[in-house]
Amino acid sequence: MPGNKLDFTSIHNAVSAGELTAGIATAIAILIFIGAVGKSGQFPLHTWLPDAMEGPTPISALIHAATMVAAGVYLVARTYDIFLVSEAALETVALIGGFTAIFAATIAVVQKDIKRILAYSTVSQLGYMMFAMGIGTWAAYSAGLFHLLTHAFFKALLFLGAGSVIHAVHEQNIFKMGGLGKTMKITTITFAIGTLALSGVAPLSGFWSKDAILAQAYEHQPLLFWVGLTAAFFTAFYMARLFFVVFAGKSQAKHAPHESPKVMTVPLLVLAVLAVIAGFVYFPGNEFLGHWLTGMEMEEHVNWVVIILSNLAALGGIGLGYFLYCKNRELPENLATRFRGLHTTLTNKYFIDEAYEAAAVKPLAGFGGVLQVFDRVIVEGAVKLSVGVMTGINRIGVRLQNGQTQTYGVISIVGIVVILLWFVGRRFLNVG
C-alpha cells in the first residue's frame, strides 16, 4: 500500500493512465455514489432530508439549498474521472437521479407542510443534478453543476420566504394560510420569483440550468429527457399549488398577518435578484461557466425543441395549479377522494419510512432480542454448565474420600471387577 494516495490529482492521473480495471472502477464509483445518495437525499436514502427540515428555517435553507446536500453531487463531480471509466456506474447515477427527480416531485404534490413541500422539491432537484451527472458528458457535467448553482439561490430564497410566511402566521400547513399576497408584498413577489425560477420559466436562472440538463438528455438519453420533462411539469404544478394556496384566496388567519422586518426581507430581495440573473453565467452563447469548470470549449447549441417543451411543461404545470387551486378549489378534494389509493400512497410518501421500519429496524431489533437470549442462555449457560460440571466432579470426589473403609472397599472391588472383566474380555472374547 505504501505510496498510494487519495488526493484528487493522483486519482485523476491513475484513471487517465488506465490503472483501474472496469470492475474496480465500477465498484469504487458505485460505492462513492451510494455515499452521495445518502448525502444528497437520493432515492432510497432520501427519507432523512424532509425530516431534517424540522430545524429552524434559516438552517433548513442552508441544509436544503446550497451547502450540505450539494456535497453529494459535488462528490460525484469531484470524482467524475472514475465515473467516466464505468458505463455501469454512470447508468446507475442517471437512473437513480432521474427516478428521484420524478419520485420526489410526485410526493411534493400532496404534502401540506410548506417546508416539507420545499424539502421534497429539493430532493427532486438534486435528482436532476444527479441524472445530469449520469449522462456522462462534460457538457452534462457542467449543466449539473450549473443547476447546483442556480438551485442554491432560488431554493434558499424559497426557504427564507417560507420562513417569513411562518413567522407571520405561526403555521406550517398551507391550507391554514391564504390571502397573504395582500399584506406581505415583498415576500409574495420574491416568492413568486423563486417559484418561477424553480419551475423553469424563461428567462429566470432555473430555466437555463434545467434547459442545459434537458438538452443534454435529449441528445444522449432520450428516455431520461421525457422523465425530466415530466418532473419539470410536476415541479411547476406543486409550486403553483403552494403559491396560490398560500398567497391567493381568502385569509384564514385570526389576526391580520403583516410583512416581516427588514432583516428578513432584505435577504429575500438579494436572493431574488440572484435567482433572476444567476442563469446568465451559462447559456447558449455564453460558455463562461462550462469553460471554467472543465477547461474545455463547450459547444452549446440552441435546442429550440427542448426550450419550447420545457417552457410548455412549466407553464402547463403552473396553469394546472392555477386552475385547480385558484379557480376550482373543490376539485382537488374530489380528485383526492376519487383516487384515494393513489392519494394515500403519495401522502404517506410511498410508505418508504414504513418499509424501512419493517425491513431494517424491526428485524434488527428482533435479531438483537434473539442474540440477547442467546447471550444470556447459551453463552452464559455454557459458562455455568462448566462451573456446574466442576462442582459436580468436586462433589463426587468429596463423597468418595469420606474416610469410611466400607466405601473404599466397594470402590476397590468395583475396580477389581472392571480389571477382571477387561482381562477376561481380551483373553477369551477378543474384545477391547
Partner 1 sequence: MLDNLPILSLLLFSPLVGILALLFVPKQNGKLIKWIAISSTFLPLILSILLLVQFNAHGEGMQFTENVRWLHIELSKYTPVLEGIKHFYYDFSYSLGVDGLSLPLVALTTFITAMAALSSVVIKKRWKTFYIMFLLLEIGMLGVFMARDLMLFFIFFEITLIPMFFLIGIWGNKERERAANQFLLYNGIGSALMFIAFMILISTAGFSFNEEKLSLFYSGSYDVIAANIANLDSFANAADILGGAFFLSDGLKALTFVLLLVAFGIKLPIFPFHTWMLKVHTEAPPSVVMIHSGILLKMGAYGLFRFGVYMFPEQTQSWAMALAILGVINIVYGAILALVQKELKLVLAYSSISHMGIVLLGIASLNIYGMQGAAYQLISHGLISALMFLIVGMMQERTGTTELDRLGGMAKTLPFISGVFLIAGMASLGLPATSGFVAEFLAFLGLFDKYPVIAIVGTLGIVLTAVYVLRAVLKITFGPTEPAVEGLRDARYIESAPMVALVALILLLGIYPAVLTDMLNNALHLIMRGIGG
Interface ranges with partner 1 (CB under 8 A): 1, 364-365, 367-369, 371-372, 375, 379-380, 382-383, 387
- Tell me whether residue 387 or residue 414 sits nearer to partner 1 (CB atom): 387
C-alpha cell at 108: 411534493
- Tell me whether residue 203 or residue 369 sits nearer to partner 1 (CB atom): 369
- Tell me whether residue 305 or residue 387 sits nearer to partner 1 (CB atom): 387
- Tell me whether residue 365 or residue 420 sits nearer to partner 1 (CB atom): 365
Cβ at position 396, least distance to partner 1 in Å: 20
Q: Is the peptide bond before 203 cis (omega within 30 degrees of 0)?
A: yes
Greatest pairwise CA separation for the chain in angstroms? 117
Distance of alpha carbon 269 from alpha carbon 247, whole angstroms? 18
Which amino acid is residue 320, in one-letter code? L
Cβ at position 1, least distance to partner 1 in Å: 6
Cβ at position 106, least distance to partner 1 in Å: 30
Distance of alpha carbon 154 from alpha carbon 268, whole angstroms? 10
* Look-up of cell digits 376550482: 328
- Tell me whether residue 256 or residue 387 sits nearer to partner 1 (CB atom): 387
- Tell me whether residue 331 or residue 370 sits nearer to partner 1 (CB atom): 370
Instruction: Say if CB 73 and CB 129 are below 8 A apart.
Output: yes
Distance of alpha carbon 331 from alpha carbon 306, whole angstroms? 32
Cβ at position 372, least distance to partner 1 in Å: 6
Cβ at position 14, least distance to partner 1 in Å: 17
- Torsion of Cα atoms, 54 then 275 then 234 then 38, to 10°: -50
Distance of alpha carbon 248 from alpha carbon 177, whole angstroms? 9
- Tell me whether residue 378 or residue 417 sits nearer to partner 1 (CB atom): 378
Which pairs with CB-CB distance under 8 Å and at least 24 residues apart come from 426-431? Answer: none
Q: How many CB atoms lie within 10 A of CB 9?
A: 8
- Tell me whether residue 305 or residue 371 sits nearer to partner 1 (CB atom): 371
- Tell me whether residue 364 or residue 417 sits nearer to partner 1 (CB atom): 364
Instruction: Say if CB 131 and CB 215 are below 8 A apart.
Output: no
Cβ at position 134, least distance to partner 1 in Å: 25
The full DSSP string for 354-393 is HHHIIIIIHHHHHHHHHHHHIIIIIIHHHHHHHHHHHHHH
- Torsion of Cα atoms, 121 then 123 then 128 then 129, to 10°: 120
- Tell me whether residue 5 or residue 262 sits nearer to partner 1 (CB atom): 5
Q: What angle do CA 201, 202, 203 make, to 5 degrees?
A: 130
Question: Which among 122, 130, 145 is positioned nearest to 83, based on CA atoms?
Answer: 130
Cβ at position 37, least distance to partner 1 in Å: 15
DSSP character at residue 429: I
Cβ at position 371, least distance to partner 1 in Å: 6
Instruction: Say if CB 348 and CB 266 are below 8 A apart.
Output: no
Cβ at position 54, least distance to partner 1 in Å: 12
Cβ at position 367, least distance to partner 1 in Å: 6
